[in-house]
Structure 1
Amino acid sequence: MILLLNIGNTNLTCGLYRQRIFADDYIPIRQLTGEKEVFRFFHRFLQNSDVSMDEIEGTVLSSVVPEKTALLRHAAESMFHSEPLLICRQTDWEFDSSTYSGVLGTDRLLCCSAALQKYPPPLIVVDFGTATTLNVIDETRAFTGGVILPGVTTGLRALVSGTSQLHDVSFRKLNSAIGKNTTECMLSGATFGTAYMLEGFRKRIQQELGAVATVVVTGGNAKDVIPSLNFSIHYEPTLLLEGLALQANRLRMASENKVKAL
């Protein structure tokens, strides 16, 4: 059994994989200030999943928060007695991303990797997280780039911090675009603004690709935005963990082939 870990800007997301992902959970990253907090979370997660520590054969880890990476790597190694496999851009991906310059988060690559296992390209892979990212895979299965915007809750917090009369709002689905009070007006902007943004980018990206693209959606805020979309999408809530599971499988196969070669 493989423990899957992704360190995001907001949460640490984890899953358990054995032929399929059968358990997942998360914890706000700000709560993980030291190894004691990490150990406590691991113990609770395994206990809730009815899994013992001895059943964990290895750990696969990805991170977009470098200052938390060492903490999680050391904690996982100490608890499960094996060094975690750290996923990075230099990992052996099944698609080409060489035309993209600059920093490219492994979360984006993992989601694209998992989406390619399920759907034919071209693809627009959307992750509604701390940032909202649109990642484009063209018809040759190459990662060609994408879009990065403030996430839904990130945008709401920025709105509050930059104004004197707007208040904190917890994001949730809204059925009417016409807000009847300040809270509903803010939620309308967050919900429908995000939905229409995605619709517009979908049309523009397809124009630039010269092809119709399948839209695959994931991320913590996705389920509240999806009802406001007026085009077909594929919702994959565990897409990132599935990308980590693919890497775990590749690691296992490489290890088995190495043993056979010996």
Structure 2
Amino acid sequence: MLLAIDAGNTNIVFALVETGGAAGGKIRARWRIATDPRRTADEYAVWLNQLLVLEGFSRSDVSAVIVGTVVPRALHNLQVLSSKYFGTEAVIAGQEGAEWGFALDVEEPGNLGADRALNAIAGHARHPGDLIIVDFGTAATFDVIDYRGAYKGGIIAPGINLSLDALVTAAAKLPRIAITAPDSTSVIGRNTVDQMHIGIYWGYVAMIEGLVARMKAEVGRPSKVIATGGLAVLFEKHTDTFDVIEPDLTIQGLAMLWERTQIGN
């Protein structure tokens, strides 16, 4: 099986993915750990080995590793994890032998984050036509992929947790609150916590709806909207902006990219 590693700014997701055959691409297990570039390969191995056993697997079940990262400092220890504990050299998404394989029709193609490129690969493979992919992570990213699979550009906005952290840090009397889908659709808060909840949640929904509407108008063709990332389901009940929610889009992109590297090998 393939160990697909998506190293983001806040969390690193490890996923065990079936390769080849009818079950190819099926995610058998996934785990999440806070991103810390100082974490060593040995620390990853102890943590991951325990989780593999809990799910009924072992290190010997992993035959290949692919890593996609937007945190360059985390890459070395993940490569060591792969070679030392799984006996295989990790494929690095976007690097030699695992290039993206689609047109980057933007001014700075080298600056596109691995997660966004992987979302584009999986999104285009799974959904025909023009796409807008909204990824809820540390930042919220909005990406446009045309019907040919070319990346056309997008938007980077502060993630909802980042926005809340900034608000609480800058305003001494405001409490820290949890971000949850509200029970009420009212946008007139009767107390401080409700007012903060409304401002963060409904303000974010308004941003999503407004930006996606503007992007659709600029594309000028019907576009399917895909939501992904850990917080995507938080907004599902309170907006009809998304046509589909695919929480594992980045992992699926990693698996597809790895399969592509095996062609001809």
TM-score normalized by the length of structure 2: 0.90
Distance of 2:12 and 2:241 partners within structure 1: 31
Match of 1:11 in 2: 11
Does residue 117 (structure 1) correspond to residue 125 (structure 2)? The answer is: yes
Alpha-carbon distance change, 181 to 89 in structure 1, aligned in 2, over 3 angstroms: farther
1:73-126 CA distances to partner (integer Å, 9 max, x unpaired)?
112211001110011266433421143415110000101111111111210001
Match of 1:73 in 2: 79
Flag structure 2 segments of 5+ consecutive residues without an equivalent.
Answer: 19-23
SS at match of 2:143: strand
- Residues 101-250 of structure 1 aligned to structure 2 (within 5 Å): 101=108, 103-176=111-184, 177-250=187-260
1:152-174 CA distances to partner (integer Å, 9 max, x unpaired)?
11110011111111122222111
Distance of 1:209 and 1:31 partners within structure 2: 38
Q: Shift of the alpha carbon at 1:212?
A: 1.8
Distance of 2:188 and 2:95 partners within structure 1: 43
Of 49, 53, 65, the residue aligned with 1:47 is 53
Asked if 1 retains the 8 angstrom alpha-carbon contact of 2:94 and 2:100, the reply is no
Distance of 2:50 and 2:188 partners within structure 1: 43
Distance of 2:71 and 2:242 partners within structure 1: 33
Asked if 1 retains the 8 angstrom alpha-carbon contact of 2:135 and 2:141, the reply is yes
TM-score normalized by the length of structure 1: 0.91
Asked if 1 retains the 8 angstrom alpha-carbon contact of 2:2 and 2:16, the reply is yes
Alpha-carbon distance change, 55 to 171 in structure 1, aligned in 2, over 3 angstroms: same
Asked if 2 retains the 8 angstrom alpha-carbon contact of 1:12 and 1:26, the reply is yes
Asked if 1 retains the 8 angstrom alpha-carbon contact of 2:12 and 2:33, the reply is yes
One-letter identity of the residue aligned with 1:93: W
SS at match of 2:111: coil
SS at match of 2:181: coil
Q: Aligned residues: percent identity?
A: 31
1:32-88 CA distances to partner (integer Å, 9 max, x unpaired)?
622332112211221122111112111000110111111111122110011100112
Alpha-carbon distance change, 100 to 89 in structure 1, aligned in 2, over 3 angstroms: farther
Distance of 1:14 and 1:77 partners within structure 2: 16
Aligned residues: 255
Does residue 2 (structure 1) correspond to residue 8 (structure 2)? The answer is: no
Match of 1:23 in 2: 29
Flag structure 1 segments of 5+ consecutive residues without an equivalent.
Answer: 256-262
Asked if 2 retains the 8 angstrom alpha-carbon contact of 1:100 and 1:144, the reply is no
Match of 2:104 in 1: 97
One-letter identity of the residue aligned with 2:235: V
Which range moved further: 243-252 or 89-98? 89-98
Alpha-carbon distance change, 248 to 184 in structure 1, aligned in 2, over 3 angstroms: same
